[in-house]
Amino acid sequence: MEDIGHDLSQGLTDMKLCTDSLSSLPPLVRRPSYDRSRLTAGIVHIGLGNFHRAHQAWYLHRLMDMGLAHDWAIVGAGVRSFDEHQRQKLAEQDFLTTLVELDPAGASAEIVGSIIDYVPIDAGLQSLVERMAQPDIRIVSLTVTEGGYFLDPATKKFDPSHPDVQYDIANITTPRTAFGAIIAALLRRREANAGPFTALSCDNLPGNGDILKSVVIEFAHLVDTDLGQWIESNVTFPNSMVDCIVPATGARELQLVKSLGVDDQVPVTHENFRQWVIEDNFCAGRPPLEKLGVQFSDNVHAFETQKLRILNGGHQIIAAPAEILGLETIADAMAHPLINGMLRKVAKQEICSLVEHVPGMTPEEYVDLIDLRFSNPSIHDTVRRVAFDGSSRHTGTVFPVIRDAISGNLPLDGLALSQALWARMCYGERENGTHIEPNDPVWDDLTAVAQSARDNPRLWLEQRVFYGAIGDDARFADAFDKWLRVIFDHGVEDALRRYVEA
């Protein structure tokens, strides 16, 4: 980190990030070439976290640098009290963000200016509903994480029983949820004859557009059948696949940006890789994203399956043993030869045969690419961040592979080991005796089952809310039982060695 700061800052003092300071920033920090005061809004993005600012906002920013898409600026939004704190920090610096690309060959920094506003988080989400109802908004995009769609964990279908959903159904004009706010805004647009907008999911979910469509339409039908039919007939929900490793921002990242000579309270670091694949299905127009390498495809499913099963699933596969062994970062995990060996073996021998080829990249080549990306020593991506909400992330990325391996009678020993390692992590204690802090919305439930499964491993697979019928398969259940006993009796490294060397 110190070397990066020395290379870029050249001893310059910190400059408070804002519009007026752009021309005074250190010369090696790239800044917008366009006049931000002339930008007009076209997109509301719900969930304005690090990933959005490093990915979608960057694409719009670079288009604007090319003299394009100046009427597609982004208005940020959120629905949680925490989002208001983030909004205030961004407002203090005119919604500018410093992006630091962590390339092993040398870091670079730039200021992204495509975000021009952030609606206040208020009672009944009135500011959000009002902004989305305005006719200049033609796309509403979301990054609300895999666990934010009110899906049944086993079926992945919309579950309207959540209290917040029930509240919104009864009080749609003052909603609590992002989806209730979208429906309320569409209701206003229909009444005002303002036309629909495209709803674009940017979350790591297979068929994310299809899922968003089913959630919004089923939700809307419970509110008003006519409104549900209007949304189904007019609003489009493109599937998309997004990819960029973006660590959480902490003290390390804040200090890094200060070392560049920029005083940014909410900077973002990211890897030197981005990908975005989208269905070209926009009911109210779109920016020309293809000019920056965004791929428009009718087969987003193949791209997202490759990414979800190898990258996102791979993250879950290595995070559990890394946490149990007390490793701090994903790069640390990849430097461990047994964890690295397990990932490569599971991916190449058990996952790749269940992943469709995409143009320009075989599944095996993608595994090699992921190995390089995960191993990037400049990316301080914590094991804890990657392991968070495993109950949603395993069910969305690893379980579909397990089901396909079961139905095809294909190898699954390493997949069973990955689940035994997750169960051992949820036990709540590392092998060195230290406590693993809660890291899942249902952590207490997972820990209770994991502790019971120490003596009876199959109890873990009886969590049908996650596993469904997976635990009924004797081949998978036998392999899981074997591995969890090895892990508890002989340790994680012994289990990894047995698998890697088999």
Contact 129, 30 (CB under 8 A): no
Lookup: tokens for 192: 């005002």
Q: In terms of domains, do 161 and 310 share one?
A: no
Contact 315, 396 (CB under 8 A): no
- Whole-number pLDDT of residue 10: 46
Q: In terms of domains, do 92 and 159 share one?
A: yes
Q: In terms of domains, do 202 and 109 share one?
A: yes
Tell me the residue ranges of DSSP E strands in 60-134: 73-77, 97-101, 108-112, 115-118
For residue 443, give its domain range. Answer: 301-501
Largest CA-CA distance found in the chain, in angstroms, rounded: 67
| Distances from the Cα of 195 to the Cα of 46, 69, 135, 189, 233, angstroms | 20, 21, 7, 6, 11
Q: In terms of domains, do 344 and 244 share one?
A: no
- Whole-number pLDDT of residue 14: 66
- Whole-number pLDDT of residue 9: 44
Q: In terms of domains, do 376 and 462 share one?
A: yes
Domain of 319: which CATH number?
A: 1.10.1040.10
What is the tally of structural domains in the chain? 2
Q: In terms of domains, do 259 and 333 share one?
A: no
**Secondary structure element (H or E) that encloses residue 211, with its range:** helix 208-223
Q: In terms of domains, do 247 and 386 share one?
A: no
Domain of 121: which CATH number?
A: 3.40.50.720
Q: In terms of domains, do 54 and 171 share one?
A: yes
Q: In terms of domains, do 159 and 255 share one?
A: yes
- Whole-number pLDDT of residue 6: 45
Q: In terms of domains, do 350 and 433 share one?
A: yes
Q: In terms of domains, do 144 and 263 share one?
A: yes
- Whole-number pLDDT of residue 267: 97
pLDDT tens digit sequence for 96-118: 999 999 988 878 899 999 999 99
- Which domain-ending residue is among 281, 297, 313? 297
Rounded Cα distance, 267 and 90, in Å: 10
Q: In terms of domains, do 352 and 272 share one?
A: no
- Which domain-ending residue is among 279, 297, 315? 297
Q: Which residues of the chain are under the pLDDT cut of 50? A: 1-12
Q: Is 298 exposed, middle or buried (0-12, 13-18, 19+ CB in 10 A)?
A: exposed
Total-model pTM: 0.86
- Which domain-ending residue is among 240, 268, 297? 297
